[in-house]
Amino acid sequence: MTRSLRPSRAGGAALVLIVCLGAPMGTAAQTHPDQPSPAPPASEYPSLRLSGFGNVDVAVQNKSEGSRGFSEGQFVLHLASALSPRVNFFGELSFTPRTDAGTGSPQATGFNAEVERAIIRFDHSDRLKVSFGRYHTPINWWNTAFHHGAWLQTTISRPEMTQFGGRFIPVHFVGALVEGGVPAGGVNLNYQAGIGNGRGNVISRGGDAGDNNARPAYVLNAFAKPDQLFGLQVGGSFYLDRVSQPGLPEVDERIAAAHAVWQREDPEVIAEIADVRHRAVGGPSTSSNVAYYVQVAYRLPSAARLWKPYYRFEHIDIDATDPVFDIATNAVPNLDGSTAGVRFDMSTYAAIKSEVRSRRRVAGQPRTNGWFLQICFTF
């Protein structure tokens, strides 16, 4: 790296932009990252890569909790472009079918378009990368591993604690992130530290148009991927924010989360827990809301390797006195849920998943049961 591009200096953001603007023109558009594309003798910039994800879902439920029948899932476009050897842009666009399509005045559109992620990143080295933009908050492993492509994840559904549009954790984060990793004698320690806007007026959103209070949100995430246990990742994260909503008292939010993941498929084990604590500013007491899940999957051997059965148990426990989640517009329901299913990879880029879910929201109340089918693919 040249001295003039050092990001640790105060003008890092401006330098990133200067480098981006200075990148030579001439787009070399490509498709999937693993597609055979002739290796050029020298890279051209920007080198845009475009890939997409889609899914079609079927749901049969004894009580409506989400869609029923056939539904078109999210149509997702992902763009990755190297603007220079050290500057990259990542974008993720989603188009989600609206249940209120054609209603209202003006009439609601058929699909909701969203810029899910837009990140510009400057790579100094493996130890230091600096980025700005809209992220999936690195407070939760699933949230940063699978994003909006259903094909990438083993199951049909995400764990409810990290559901898109959910409120338990702040799924999106608008701000800046510093990240990197060091070998640390084979332990491979990685870190991510960020500052951003935190939750917006609608707590499931990330304050895209600016912070709604004077307190930024902070996130710190650290994890290890030891060489000796290839496939294992363990880590934890911490998040601080002040939640401000019109007409409601401000609340300090602290989130502590941890994860342990065995990423091989024989088996695949994912376990995460998060504790979201709220305290009204100046208030005497803190409420604690805990959610966790454990997912186990196994890619069957040899001739049956296209099949991958899985099971997930998840639990959400909301404090009845919580000053954020106890408000009707922010409500997060309790959950005791089980998901069991199987994934069949009908090709390298397409899969069919079938799963049953059983969920109980209130102790002593009947469970909601459902059967779901998903055809998902990447293109």
Partner 1 sequence: MVLRGPSRPPAYCALTLILVLLLPGGLTRPADAQPASDIAVVVHPDVAVDNLTIAELRRVLLGDREFWPASVRITLLIRAPIARERDVVLKTLCQMTEAQFRQHWIGKVFRADTALAPKIVYSTDMAVDYVNRIPGAITFIEASHAGRGLKVVKVEGRLPGEKDYLLH
Closer by beta carbon to partner 1, 302 or else 365? 302
Q: Confirm if 125 and 163 have CB atoms less than 8 A apart.
A: no
Contact map string, positions 273 to 312, toward partner 1, x by CB under 8 A: --------------------------------x-------
Closer by beta carbon to partner 1, 70 or else 230? 230
Q: Which two tokens stand for residue 83?
A: 């603007």
Among 15, 16, 47, 325, binds partner 1 (CB under 8 A): 47
Among 57, 114, 123, 160, binds partner 1 (CB under 8 A): 123
Q: Does a cis peptide bond (omega within 30 degrees of 0) precede residue 246?
A: no
Q: Confirm if 49 and 80 have CB atoms less than 8 A apart.
A: yes
Cα distance between residue 337 and residue 343, in whole Å: 19
Cα distance between residue 295 and residue 298, in whole Å: 10
Indicate whether 41 belongs to the interface with partner 1 (CB under 8 A): yes
Indicate whether 378 belongs to the interface with partner 1 (CB under 8 A): yes
DSSP-assigned letters across all residues of 169-236:
S--EEEEEEEEEEE-GGGT-EEEEEEEE--S-SSTTS--TT--SSS--EEEEEEEE--GGGTTEEEEE
Indicate whether 119 belongs to the interface with partner 1 (CB under 8 A): yes
Count CB neighbours of 245 within 10 A. 19
Q: Confirm if 49 and 72 have CB atoms less than 8 A apart.
A: no
Cα distance between residue 207 and residue 213, in whole Å: 10
Contact map string, positions 215 to 254, toward partner 1, x by CB under 8 A: ----------x-x--x------------------------
Distance of CA 232 to the CA centre of its chain: 19
Indicate whether 181 belongs to the interface with partner 1 (CB under 8 A): yes
Cα distance between residue 130 and residue 179, in whole Å: 6
Could you tell me which stretch among 54-62, 76-84, 325-333, 367-375 binds partner 1 (CB under 8 A)? 76-84
Q: C-beta of 99: minimal distance to partner 1 in Å? A: 27
Among 16, 54, 73, 117, binds partner 1 (CB under 8 A): 117
The helix (run of H) or strand (run of E) holding residue 372 is strand 368-378
Contact map string, positions 20 to 39, toward partner 1, x by CB under 8 A: ------------xxxxxxxx
Q: C-beta of 146: minimal distance to partner 1 in Å? A: 8
Among 19, 54, 89, 141, binds partner 1 (CB under 8 A): 89
Indicate whether 206 belongs to the interface with partner 1 (CB under 8 A): no
Indicate whether 163 belongs to the interface with partner 1 (CB under 8 A): no
Please give the residue ranges that form the binding site for partner 1 (CB under 8 A). Answer: 1, 32-43, 47, 49, 51, 53, 78, 80-82, 85-86, 88-90, 92, 117, 119, 121, 123-126, 144-147, 149, 152, 181, 186, 188, 225, 227, 230, 264-265, 305, 345, 348, 378
